[in-house]
A and B are shown apart, each in its own frame.
Chain A
Amino acid sequence: MTDGAASTMGDLFANLSIFKDAIWVGGLAGALLGFIGVHIVLRRMVFASSAIAQAAALGVALSFWISAVVDPARHAAGHIAGPAAHLAPSLLFEPVLWAIAASLAATLVFIANPTHLHLTRESLLGFVFLASGAGAVIVGDKITQEAHDLNAILFGSAVVVQSMDLYLVAGATVLLLGGHVALWRALLFVGYDPMGAYVQGMPVRALNAFLFLSVGLAVALCTRALGALPVFAFSVLPAMAALALTARIGAVFVLALVLGAASGVGGYVVSFGADLPVGATQTATAVALLAAALTWRFARSRYERSARARTASAPRTDAA
């Protein structure tokens, strides 16, 4: 570590009271999305979280743009008043509400059965992702004052977060993670063998609705606080790493939660020390953990294969 980097890390610890909210949000979002991400990965709906995160980003961009169009004087006054004010000139234009609304709308598209249109669910996800991505860029081009905020939401470059974001993410973590911990076996059964679960009288629709709505809500709140890129990363990469490290399903959930939290906190600390963008560094941290897990998995597979080969080729010592 260079002197400059060391002093930067020193700054982090010296000013921990300023940055601790962002560290908490990173850890909580990583833990929540890491746990939920196991279902996302196992149900092969990885790009659902990406599309929903893009939709949330579009929702935030729209909240900026529409407030400027509908009430330009108040919007400008709010902007002059400071960051906290310009983001929410009135409750109607509160970005987090728009993010939640857009995420839930995208979630409904995901829940919909498009077979009557002779389309697959994946193609609808592609539609949502592209429409949201293009929309966010176009709307972002129309708003100049909040362009930096929008960039932070898309890529997660915010070094500090608002207290309200921390409260919302913490509340979502307690409620949604609590629900997921209580229902993990039920959600697993419904995802693995939906017909068997239905026949045994499991509330399949209610459980799926809980899963999809919790994904939509978690992604919306975390995207508003952290940005679309790290949110997509947290909802996919820790679960993949956990699945590479163990085949015990209970341990997969615990590991995904821990790796997600580690990516959020570790990524923030590394970004501060190395003066890198926060969201990209959190994503890179999750990628590094996954790479390490896959390397360990590969090495273990090779070792087990060679051990089996040695056993098979060993001379038999049992007397005839």
Chain B
Amino acid sequence: MLPPGERLLRADGLVVGYDRTPILPPLSATIGAGELWAVIGPNGSGKSTFVRTALGLVKPLGGVVERKPGARLAYVPQQSMLDAIFPISVIDFVLMGLQGPRNVSLWRAGHGLADARAALDVAGARAFERKQLRDLSGGQRQRVLIARALATDADLIFLDEPTAALDATAEHEVLELIERLRGKRGAAVVMVTHLVEDGLERADRALLLDRDRGVALAATAREIRSAPEFAHVYGRFVGRGGVDA
């Protein structure tokens, strides 16, 4: 179990962008163990670019990103990013969570079956372990994606739009499951979401991004909600029954 609040990732004056062109103002934030972060902002606001930079997939244009040495990371992709042409069973997908630098080939997959099934149990997805991932409903598939993150035993888990294209019931179940993610080992969870209200309600901290308005603000969820930048970005939706972007 990680000590609560232990620093897992620190961004200091981080400038993100493409082709040497910054898209957001410099950003500083520290992600600690056990925290749930919501990354919010309109479509095309720079959320994905921030996540890709934090994960090391894109080089920062300025500032630094420091990860705790030896920290294990996991990434839960958007469902639409997984090509349905691949015949991947649920159990094979969760077994991928056990692969890494020390176990590239997963040559003895049978040794990881117990861990994979335990992760599926936690995610409530054990019943369809032999089914094809592509044959599941959106909510079932999202639970399997999260089960893989559980199987990685990661310290820091990034989720990209985990509730996209889900109905209200599945959305609620997935958000509940995400909250449980950090219970395991005290991992930190960073969730990119278009559900602004739900995201801020459940998250401890949030990151508000908007490249068009030059906003990059990291604070507690409560502070974000009352920040002028939040009203500036979502102002015309506030008080009209939600601000789901």
Contacts and interface: CB of A to CB of B under 8 A. Distances in A.
A44 B77 CA distance: 20
A319 interface: no
B109 A185 contact: yes
Contacts of B89: 247-249
Interface in B67-86: 72-77, 81-83, 85-86
A197 B92 CA distance: 14
B100 A243 contact: no
Nearest to A182: B105
Given A185-B109, A249-B87, A252-B87, A203 B104 contact: yes
Interface in A199-241: 199-203, 207
Given A185-B99, A186-B99, A249-B89, A195 B75 contact: yes
B230 interface: no
A203 B86 CA distance: 21
Given A42-B86, A243-B87, A183 B104 contact: yes
Interface in B111-143: 132
Contacts of B158: 199
B105 A193 contact: no
Contacts of B75: 195-196, 198-200
B81 A193 contact: yes
A189 B99 contact: yes
Interface residues of B, number: 34
Interface residues of A, number: 27
Contacts of B77: 193, 195-196
Nearest to B52: A195
Contacts of B99: 185-186, 189, 197, 200, 202
A182 B103 CA distance: 12
A179 to B, nearest CB: 10
Nearest to B78: A195
A182 B88 CA distance: 18
B73 A183 contact: no
Given A185-B105, A193-B77, A247 B152 contact: no
Contacts of A252: 87
B85 A42 contact: yes
A198 B158 CA distance: 13
Contacts of A199: 55-57, 73-75, 158
A176 B42 CA distance: 47
A303 interface: no
B97 interface: yes
A247 B134 CA distance: 11
Interface in A4-24: none
A44 B107 contact: no
A316 to B, nearest CB: 23
B208 to A, nearest CB: 24
A42 B105 CA distance: 19
Contact of A200 (B57, B82, B100, B105): B100
A193 to B, nearest CB: 6
21 contacts: A42-B86, A182-B105, A182-B107, A193-B81, A193-B82, A195-B57, A195-B81, A196-B76, A198-B57, A199-B55, A199-B75, A200-B72, A200-B152, A202-B101, A243-B87, A246-B87, A247-B89, A248-B87, A249-B86, A249-B87, A249-B88
The 9 A-B residue pairs whose C-beta atoms are closest, nearest first, are A199-B75, A201-B101, A247-B87, A185-B106, A201-B100, A200-B100, A189-B96, A196-B75, A199-B73
